[in-house]
């Protein structure tokens, strides 16, 4: 008889401060699909610079769920890359916007309940972690941040998507759960915050209801004050393993019995245990976007070649034009004699 694992799955996404201040929607999103044979979780993060970021992330989430339900378990890595991009393209092209404007990053984890194996993939700076049965977080899919510059990544509609896509296929025999985050929640994945992650996953392993509340509290009170970005966290933890549950109970800072005995107070207590960041970290005066534009315009005050832009870490080869083009189009930058330069008084 096959031992089918069961999971508690919770997710939360909120609009970042920058978008809130601009009156824009949350451009992140997540989707969960579960049936008798698989559990699929995905997150997507629309590119803020794109006017169709929300549509892009919605389309890509649909695509990833469709891909997850396909006949994918015999596929090799290369075939997975081709197939998932084909489905993504199909959904992006069905969207009522220009393909090139539908930029977003994404991550997907598909757990096969029958074979106890998983396929995980990501494009861009969304990332995924696994929680071992000892409730230790380990990185599964690292974000693609070009030159450690968080503004530079690869999007699902980029020609680089196939090359930059990360794919992991493996057995879930020693895995207690998966955690997927958009780049707005990347802090949660840092080693310094491993305790937070362990606490959240412990709660999740014990009770989905408590975990949802705890997650919302942590995202709103801990992660959100430290970033301008939209934030999405999606996690799933095994709920049917006594060993994992016992470890979770031992690890958890609060006492949680069952989902039926929902204890809001306990969760609040857990939330209060967190060192909630103060409002002093809020900085809404300058958006990251305008900072980036200012930096590049200052850099191009002296004419620079495309090569110099790459060396300076502004962008990667093959995407210099994509990076600079909006500034050229708006008349802030010109290209002449092998050099980009800022237009004086532009």
Q: Check binding of 147 to other proteins (CB under 8 A).
A: no
- Of the residues 283, 285, 337, 344, which one makes contact with other proteins according to CB under 8 A: 337
Number of chain residues interacting with other proteins (CB under 8 A): 32
Q: Check binding of 306 to other proteins (CB under 8 A).
A: yes
Tell me which stretch binds other proteins (CB under 8 A): 22-30, 56-64, 227-235, 334-342. 334-342
Q: Check binding of 310 to other proteins (CB under 8 A).
A: yes
Of 72 and 160, nearer to other proteins (C-beta) is: 160
Q: How far apart are the first and last CA of the chain?
A: 71
**In angstroms, what is the minimal distance from the CB of 341 to other proteins?**
12
Q: Which of 224, 230, 182 is nearest to 61 (CA)?
A: 182
Of 211 and 300, nearer to other proteins (C-beta) is: 300
Let me know: does 60 contact 87? Beta carbons within 8 Å.
Answer: no
Q: Which residue has the tokens 């975990």?
A: 211
Tell me which stretch binds other proteins (CB under 8 A): 137-145, 189-197, 272-280, 317-325. 317-325
- In the chain, the largest separation of any two C-alpha atoms, in whole Å, equals 74
- What is each CA distance from 275 to 101, 219, 221, 222, 235, in whole angstroms? 39, 12, 9, 7, 21
Q: Check binding of 99 to other proteins (CB under 8 A).
A: yes
**In angstroms, what is the minimal distance from the CB of 223 to other proteins?**
31
Q: Check binding of 317 to other proteins (CB under 8 A).
A: yes
Q: Is 321 left (phi over 0), alpha (psi -120 to 50) or beta?
A: alpha
- What is each CA distance from 335 to 152, 153, 298, 327, in whole angstroms? 21, 24, 15, 11
Q: Check binding of 104 to other proteins (CB under 8 A).
A: no
Tell me which stretch binds other proteins (CB under 8 A): 31-39, 132-140, 215-223, 325-333. 325-333
- Of the residues 85, 179, 188, 223, which one makes contact with other proteins according to CB under 8 A: 85
Question: CB burial class (10 A; 0-12, 13-18, 19+) of residue 116?
Answer: middle
Of 285 and 336, nearer to other proteins (C-beta) is: 336
Q: Check binding of 163 to other proteins (CB under 8 A).
A: yes
How far is it, in rounded angstroms, from Cα 27 to Cα 68? 22
Q: Check binding of 329 to other proteins (CB under 8 A).
A: yes
Q: Check binding of 246 to other proteins (CB under 8 A).
A: no
The secondary structure of 127-150 as a DSSP string is EEEEEETT--EEEEE----GGG-T
Of 77 and 253, nearer to other proteins (C-beta) is: 77
Collapsing DSSP to helix, strand or coil, 121 comes out as strand
Angle at 124 between CA 120 and CA 126, to 5 degrees: 60
Collapsing DSSP to helix, strand or coil, 232 comes out as strand
Of 82 and 115, nearer to other proteins (C-beta) is: 82
Which residues make up the interface to other proteins (CB under 8 A)? Answer: 82, 85-86, 89-90, 93, 98-100, 157-160, 162-163, 306-307, 310-311, 317-322, 325, 328-329, 335-338
């Amino acid at each position: 008889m096959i031992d089918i694992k069961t999971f508690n799955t919770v997710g939360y996404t909120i609009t970042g401060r920058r978008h809130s201040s601009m009156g824009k929607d949350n451009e992140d999103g997540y989707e969960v699909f579960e049936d008798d044979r698989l559990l699929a979780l995905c997150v997507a993060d629309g590119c803020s610079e794109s006017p169709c970021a929300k549509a892009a992330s919605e389309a890509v989430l649909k695509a990833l769920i469709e891909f997850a339900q396909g006949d994918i378990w015999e596929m090799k890595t290369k075939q997975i890359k081709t197939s998932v991009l084909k489905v993504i393209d199909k959904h992006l092209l069905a969207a009522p916007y220009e393909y090139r404007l539908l930029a977003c990053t994404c991550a997907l984890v598909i757990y096969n309940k029958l074979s106890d194996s998983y396929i995980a993939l990501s494009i861009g700076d969304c990332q995924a972690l696994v929680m071992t049965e000892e409730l230790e977080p380990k990185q599964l899919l690292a974000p693609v941040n070009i030159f450690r510059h968080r503004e530079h990544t690869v999007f699902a509609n980029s020609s680089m998507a196939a090359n930059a896509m990360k794919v992991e296929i493996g057995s879930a025999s020693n895995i207690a759960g998966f955690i997927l985050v958009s780049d707005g929640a990347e802090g949660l994945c840092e080693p310094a915050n491993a305790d937070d992650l362990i606490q959240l996953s412990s709660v999740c392993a014990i009770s989905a209801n408590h975990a949802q509340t705890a997650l919302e509290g942590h995202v709103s009170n801990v992660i959100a004050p430290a970033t301008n970005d939209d934030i999405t966290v999606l996690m799933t933890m095994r709920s049917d393993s006594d060993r994992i549950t016992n470890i979770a109970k031992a690890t958890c800072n609060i006492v949680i019995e069952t989902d039926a005995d929902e204890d809001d107070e306990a969760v609040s207590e857990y939330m209060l245990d967190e060192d909630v960041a103060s409002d002093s970290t809020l900085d809404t005066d300058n958006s990251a976007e305008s900072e980036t534009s200012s930096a590049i315009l200052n850099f191009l005050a002296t004419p620079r070649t495309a090569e110099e832009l790459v060396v300076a870490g502004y962008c990667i080869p093959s995407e210099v034009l994509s990076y600079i083009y909006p500034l050229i189009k708006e008349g802030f930058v010109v290209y002449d004699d092998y050099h980009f330069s800022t237009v004086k008084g532009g």
